[in-house]
Structure 1
Amino acid sequence: MAEATVARLFRVLRLATLLITLVFLFALDLPLLLANADAYHSFAAEVTAFAVLVLVTGFAGVRLWGDRPLRWWRWPALAAVFGASAAAVFAVPTEYVGTATEWSNGTIGWLCLLLLADRSLVSVLAALAAHQVFSFGQLVLTGGGDRATLVDLAMITVLVLGCQLTVAAATAAVRRMAQEAAATAAQEDRVRTAEAVAEQLHRDRRLRLANLTTTTVPLLAGLAAGAPVADRVAYAVEAARMRRLFAENDDVEDPLLHELRACADVAERKGVRVFLGTWGERPELPVAIRRALTEPVMACLATTVGEARVTLLGAAGSVTVSVVTDAPPPESVRAPAEVTVTRRESGGRYWVEAHYRPPAESRDH
C-alpha cells in the first residue's frame, strides 16, 4: 500500500515537471521566439531548436503517461536537448545574449529534470551544472561578458535554479522513499513467505505425528513394555510407512516414484531383491492418493521372502501401482474409495494392483 502511494506521488511529480516544461515552451518561449524573429542570425535555426525541444518533451511525456521508462533513450534525448540549446544560443546576436531574446535559457533545466527524474540527484545536478557552465562560457566567449550582463544572467540563473533544484530535491526524496518502500515490501513478502512455510511444515509434522500415533506408536509402546514380537510383518510395514513419511518431504520431480523407492529400500535392507520399473506419464497426485497407492506395496514387501517386482504405470491421467511377490500379502490393505485394489494368485506368485483414476469432473478440468 505504501509502495503504491509513493509510486503515485513520484508519478505526480514527474507529470508536474512535464506540465512546467510545456508551460515554459508554449507560454513563455514561443511568444519570445516569435517576437524577436528579426533579431536572430538565423530564425530557421531558432525554430528548429524549438521544434527539437518540443519533440523531446512530447516523447518523454508519452513514455511518462504510459508508465514506460525512458531507459537508454534518455541519453540521445538529452544530447538532442543540449544540441538544440547550443544552436539556439549561437543564433542569438552577442548584444542579446542573456536577455529575453535568448528564450531557451530557462527551459533546458526543466527538460533535464524531465529526462533524469528517475536517475540519481547527482545526474540531475551534473546536467544542470553543465547547462549553466555552457551559458556563462558562451557569454564570455562571444565578448558579451561585461559585469552588468553577467550579474543579470546570474540573477536569472539563481531564480530559475531555485525552482528547478527544489523540484529535483523533492523528486530525489520521493524516489528514495519509493526504493525504501519497495525494499520494505520485499522484506515483508519474505517474512510472510517464511511464516507460511513454517506453518505448513508445522501442519505437516502434526499430520505425520497423527498418522504414526494410530499405527507405529502402539507397536513401539508394546516393545517398550516388553511384549513379545508376534508379527514381524506389522513392524516391517510400519518401518516402510515411516520411511515413506520422510520421503514425502523431499523436493523431487516424481514424488510417487521417490516414495516407492523408499518403501523398497526397507525391504532390501532385510535381503529382499526388489525390481522397480516405470512406464508412461503420470499426473501430479495429492499426498493422500500417493499413500493409498503405496500401501499395498508396503504390505506386500513386508511379507516377501526373496524377490518382488514393483511396476509404476501412467496412462490417460490414471496411475497404477502393481507388485508381484513370492509370499501371500496381508488379507486387508487400507485404501480410499478413489483407489481400487485387486489381488490375484498363480503358481505361487502373488500379484496385487492399486489403480487410481481421477473423477470425471477432474479429468474434464
Structure 2
Amino acid sequence: MTELLVAGNVFRGLRLATLAITAGTLYGLALPLLLANPDVYRSLPRQWLAFAVLTVVVAVVGVQILRDRPLGRPRWVLVAAVFAASALATTAIPAEELMSEAEWSYGVIGWFGLLLLVDHSALATAVFLGVHTVGSFGQLVATGQGGQAADLVVVTAVVLGCELPVLAAAMALRSLTARTAAAAERVARMRTADAIAEQLHADRRARYGDLATSTVPLLTDLKTGAADLSDDRVRTTYAVAAARLRRLFAEHDEVVDPLLHELRACLDLAERNGVTVYLGSCGEHPTPPLTARRALTEPVLRALAAAGTRARVTVLGSSDGVTVSVVADAREVPGPEPEPTGGDGVTVTRLVDGKEVWVEATWQART
C-alpha cells in the first residue's frame, strides 16, 4: 500500500508540473505575443475569445488537480474546447502570418493535450498531439503556404521535443503503478493465505484439543474393554460423543443457516439408531456465533442420545435471537440435572415428566 501511495503521489506531482508548464506557457509566452501583435490579426476579438477559452480550461483542470480528482466525462468537452480555441486563433490571423510570432497558439495547444489526457491514456495523448500537428500542416497547405512547411517542421521538433518527454514519463509512471499494484495484490493474497492457514491450523488444534479431552478417553476405554456397553448411561455417553463429532465436522461447512445444518448433523445418529425425529423451523433469525451454536445444540444432542423412540426438535427464530427446544422420551428416568447450564448468551431450561424430557435453549443477540 505504501508503494501505491508513493506512485500515486508521483503521478499527482506530474499532473501539477504539467499544469504549471501549461499555465506558464499560456501566460508567460502566448499572452505577451498576443499583446504585442494586435494589428496583425484579422479579428482581435476572436483571438481574445480563444485565449479566454484556454484560460477557462486551465482553471477547471487546475481545480480538479489541486483537489486530486479525475476529470471524468467533462474531459472530452474540454478537449473539444481546446481544439475550438486553436481553430479560432489560427483562422483569425492572415495565412502568411501563420509561422510568425503573432501566431501564439501553436506552442500552447500541445501542452493542453498533455494536461487533459496524460492521466487518462498515453494513446489518447499521442493521438491529440498527432491530430494537432497534422492539422497545422494541413492548414498551411490549404491556405497556400506550403513553402513554410520547413519552418513548421523546425517549430514542431522543438515543441514536441519538450512535450514528448512528459508523455514518456507519464507512460513510465503508469507502468510502474501497474507493476506496483500487481505486486501489492500478490502480497495481499499471500498475507491472506497465510492468515487463513494460521486460522485453519488454530481451528484444527482446538478441534484436536476437544477430541483429546472428550472422545479419545472414550475410544481408549472401548479399545481396552473398560467400557460397559450394556449400561444405558455408557451408551448414551458414547452417543453424545459421536453426535459431537458429527457437529464438529458440520461446523466448517459453508451453508446458509449453520445452526440448522449442525442440528441436522446431531439428528442423523439418533435416526440411525431407530429414533423417529421431527425437525421443524419457524421464523428468520440471526446467525449465532460458533460457541453459542454449540451451547444451543448441546442440550439437543444430549436429549437425542438418551431418546428411546421419538423426539421433536423445534427452532423458533426472531429478529434478535433464536430458541431451540426438544421433546423426547428417554430410555430411562433422567437424572436430576444432566443438562448444561448454557453460556455465551444461551439460557437452558429443562423439565422432566416421567420419561418425557423437555429442554429449551435460548440465545439472544447482543445489541
**TM-score normalised over the length of structure 2:** 0.91
- Aligned counterpart for 1:278 among listed residues 281, 284, 296: 281
Q: Measure how far apart 1:336 and its partner are.
A: 4.4
Give me the whole-angstrom Cα distance separating, in 2, the residues matched to 1:208 and 1:333. 22
After alignment, is 39-48 or 215-224 more displaced? 215-224
Instruction: Verify: 1:308 aligned to 2:311, yes or no.
Output: yes
Deviation at 1:130, TM superposition (A): 1.3
- Indicate the percent of aligned positions where both proteins have the same amino acid: 52
Q: Does 1:84 align with 2:91?
A: no
Secondary structure, aligned partner of 1:41 = coil
CA contact 1:98–1:139 (8 Å) conserved in 2: no
Indicate the residue corresponding to 1:151 in structure 2.
150
Cα distance, 1:34 vs structure 2: 2.2
The aligned runs of 1:38-57 (5 Å cut-off) are 38-57=39-58
Matches of 2:119 and 2:283, distance apart in 1: 54
- Whether the 8 Å CA contact 1:300–1:329 is kept in 2: the answer is no
Structure 2: distance between partners of 1:75 and 1:357: 57
Q: What pairs up with 1:146-295 in 2 under 5 angstroms?
A: 146=147, 149-230=148-229, 231-295=234-298
Deviations 1:303-322 (A, max 9, x none): 11211011223447343321
Please name the residue that 2:329 is paired with.
326
Hey, what's the Cα distance between the residues in 2 that align with 1:56 and 1:229? 92
Q: 1:355 aligns with which of 354, 362, 365?
A: 362
Residue 257 of structure 1, CA deviation: 1.9
Give per-residue Cα distances to partners, 1:175-198, cap 9 Å, x unaligned.
111111112112211111111111
Q: Answer yes or no: is the 8 Å Cα contact 1:339–1:357 preserved in 2.
A: yes
C-alpha distance in structure 2 between counterparts of 1:204 and 1:97, whole Å: 78
Residue 3 of structure 1: how far off its partner (Å): 0.6
What is the CA-CA distance between 1:346 and the residue it aligns to? Answer: 2.9
Select between 113-122 and 222-231 the one with higher mean Cα deviation: 222-231
Retained in 1: the 8 A contact 2:340–2:348? Answer: no
Q: Does 1:28 align with 2:35?
A: no
Does residue 1:120 correspond to 2:121, yes or no? yes
Of 28-37 and 348-357, deviating more is 348-357
Contact 1:247–1:262 at 8 Å: present in 2 too? Answer: yes
**2: CA distance between counterparts of 1:224 and 1:120?**
73
TM-score (norm 1): 0.91
SS state at 1:326 partner = strand
- Equivalent residue letter for 1:260: L
| Structure 2, unaligned runs of 5 or more | none
Equivalent of 1:342 in 346, 349, 360: 349
RMSD of Structure 2 on Structure 1 (CA): 2.0
Deviation track 1:69-117 (CA, whole Å, cap 9, x = no partner) reads 2233222221221122122111111221111111000011101111111
**Gapped regions of structure 1 (runs ≥ 5):** none
Distance 2:151 2:225 in 1: 105
